[in-house]
Structure 1
Amino acid sequence: MQEKSGSLVEWLVPLGFIFCGSWLIWHMPAFILDWGGHADQLAAHFARVDVTPNMPVVMGAHIDVFDLLAFVLLPVLAVVGILTVRRAPMEFEAWGPLDRTAVFVGRVTMMLIVLLMCVMLYEVFTRYVLASGTLWANELSLWLAGFIFLCSGLYAMQQRSHIRIFIIYDAMPRWLQHVCDVISTLMIVTFAFFLFYGGYGEAFQKFARWELYGSAFNPPIPATVKPAVLFIVSMVAVQSVINLIADWNTEPVVHTAADDIDEDEIARLREAVGADEAEQK
């Protein structure tokens, strides 16, 4: 298993995945109009937001070559990203296929955070330096933050880094710890099941009619975030079951305050201090 992370392809593939996903989301009305029926209001909206209005269509009446290319490249980039992602030294050692998927989602989330910061910095610059704020930065930041929150939850579950209270758990015998693990996993799965069961109809309706936010920028936040909630929470539930199986026969871990110390960071600081002292001498 590779212990190094940070190669160029590991960051270019998530960026390409984000770009293709963003294109598909922005041009999703083209697919809905061609595959799911026709609505005058949706057609008028797509005419306003179409990035490539003069491109010849290749499928149906609205899907052009760039839409089709993004549609094909998105799963290809996802597979390439899952196959090329590498575990960083500080990340959890589990490395099955679904673990790699969660880590790739984590890499995508990291790039989304960078993009979110760029949007916020651009808005601050235009508003307070140029005195000309944008109409889209606030809603785009909200949109990106929603996806970051969801995707980071899946990554945190895979890394076992979600908030947990160990003071009682560590004092239990191993068999009782297994009982607690099973109960907590069942609670997560039950919550995900009823969330999906109760929210599927509403999420499908919001997506099918491509419900918009209603602001000046008017992004499709309801049409995208609601289905994403159901999908990501379901993946979190699956990941919790995978964690339960993978950790079942492992040795119990005793958690102490030392767990929060990054040994690699301390080693780098010591090297830097040693180098500074050598230069001073």
Structure 2
Amino acid sequence: MIWPAAFTACMAWLVWYFPRFIILAGLANDNLQSGYLTAGALDIVVALGAVAALVMGLRTTRTTAGEGVIETPVDRLSLFLGRVTMLLVVVLVAVMAYEVMLRYVFERPTLWANEMSLWMAGFIFLLSGLYAMQQRSHIRIYLLYDVLPRGVQRLCDVISTGLICLFAAAMIWGSWNEARDKFLRWETFGTAFDPPIPATLKPLILLVMVLVALQAVANLVADWRKGPESHGVIDGNEVEEMIQTARAQHEQGRHD
């Protein structure tokens, strides 16, 4: 998790100070130019660090027990971003625990924890959807799918993938201008902490939609030559875990 952690740290810096890069690119309005400096050497180094962490993370990402195999470069990217999402969950829990302690133990609540939690939860929600798509763990209804011959299953996969791509294209077409405007003017939340939630989450929605569509296409290509799919009521891994747990409890009972 070293490279996902390094990538997360670099991106945290870049997201918070990204108006400096907007100014550097000559796209900033007067409000941004009056409130921020242009990107300096440190900002450039952090940006290069984020790229390096991403490249190294993609090269070293491995699956763990229970995860699907890596079959395409898109799988590798989704899996790496899944690791980043897992780290964000840990940070989110830490922020919430810190706020609870200050609020109810020391009676000194913060001004930033609530908005920070909301902000990170948005990132987690979006990126976890991409990870779920890569793992094929999103909600699917198999009642009719399992009884169909493999050729018809492939047709259903093509239709569902096409609908995902169509939805992604519609989202981009309908929301591009709004997302671009919020991003370039670096629209903030309007609170005391004032994080740039609209400026970051709105473009991220479109970016994740593109990645989800690419992942859906990658899944379609990877699954095309596989045999007929059949899904039981209980997953095979769950059955194996239940058996191992029962055996462990039985052995413990014998020793007791």
Shorter-chain TM-score category? over 0.9
Pairwise CA distance, 1:97: 1.6
Pairwise CA distance, 1:28: 0.7
Where structure 2 has 5 or more consecutive residues not aligned to the other structure, the ranges are none
**From 7, 22, 33, the counterpart of 2:12:** 22
Q: RMSD over aligned Cα, in angstroms?
A: 1.8
1:38–1:233 Cα change, 3 Å: closer
> What is aligned with 1:160?
136
Whole-angstrom CA distance in 2 between matches of 1:195 and 1:82: 28
1:194–1:142 Cα change, 3 Å: same
Which digits, 9 at most, give the CA deviation of each residue in 1:204-242, with x for residues without a partner? 111111111111110001111011000011010011011
The 5-angstrom pairing of residues 1-281 of structure 1 reads 11-46=1-36, 62-259=38-235, 261-263=237-239, 265-266=241-242, 269-270=245-246, 272-273=248-249, 276-277=252-253, 279-280=255-256
Q: Is the 8 A contact 2:111 2:192 kept in 1?
A: yes
Whole-angstrom CA distance in 1 between matches of 2:206 and 2:46: 23
TM-score, normalised relative to structure 2? 0.94
Whole-angstrom CA distance in 1 between matches of 2:235 and 2:248: 23
Whole-angstrom CA distance in 1 between matches of 2:3 and 2:173: 33
Q: Is the 8 A contact 2:126 2:205 kept in 1?
A: yes
Pairwise CA distance, 1:270: 4.5
Whole-angstrom CA distance in 2 between matches of 1:271 and 1:86: 29
Which digits, 9 at most, give the CA deviation of each residue in 1:33-69, with x for residues without a partner? 22224544224443xxxxxxxxxxxxxx632332111
1:69–1:275 Cα change, 3 Å: farther
Q: Is the 8 A contact 2:61 2:79 kept in 1?
A: yes
Residue identity over aligned pairs, in percent, reads 45
Q: Is the 8 A contact 1:213 1:221 kept in 2?
A: yes
Whole-angstrom CA distance in 2 between matches of 1:138 and 1:90: 34
TM-score, normalised relative to structure 1? 0.86
Whole-angstrom CA distance in 1 between matches of 2:27 and 2:173: 25
Describe the SS at the equivalent of 2:235. Answer: helix
1:184–1:37 Cα change, 3 Å: closer
Pairwise CA distance, 1:25: 0.7
Whole-angstrom CA distance in 1 between matches of 2:237 and 2:67: 14
Whole-angstrom CA distance in 1 between matches of 2:245 and 2:42: 48
Q: Is the 8 A contact 1:36 1:208 kept in 2?
A: no
The total of aligned residue pairs comes to 256
Pairwise CA distance, 1:264: 5.5
Whole-angstrom CA distance in 2 between matches of 1:27 and 1:264: 48
Pairwise CA distance, 1:258: 2.4
Q: Is the 8 A contact 1:211 1:223 kept in 2?
A: yes
> What is aligned with 1:4?
none
Whole-angstrom CA distance in 1 between matches of 2:169 and 2:28: 32
Pairwise CA distance, 1:194: 1.2
Where structure 1 has 5 or more consecutive residues not aligned to the other structure, the ranges are 1-10, 47-60
Pairwise CA distance, 1:176: 1.4
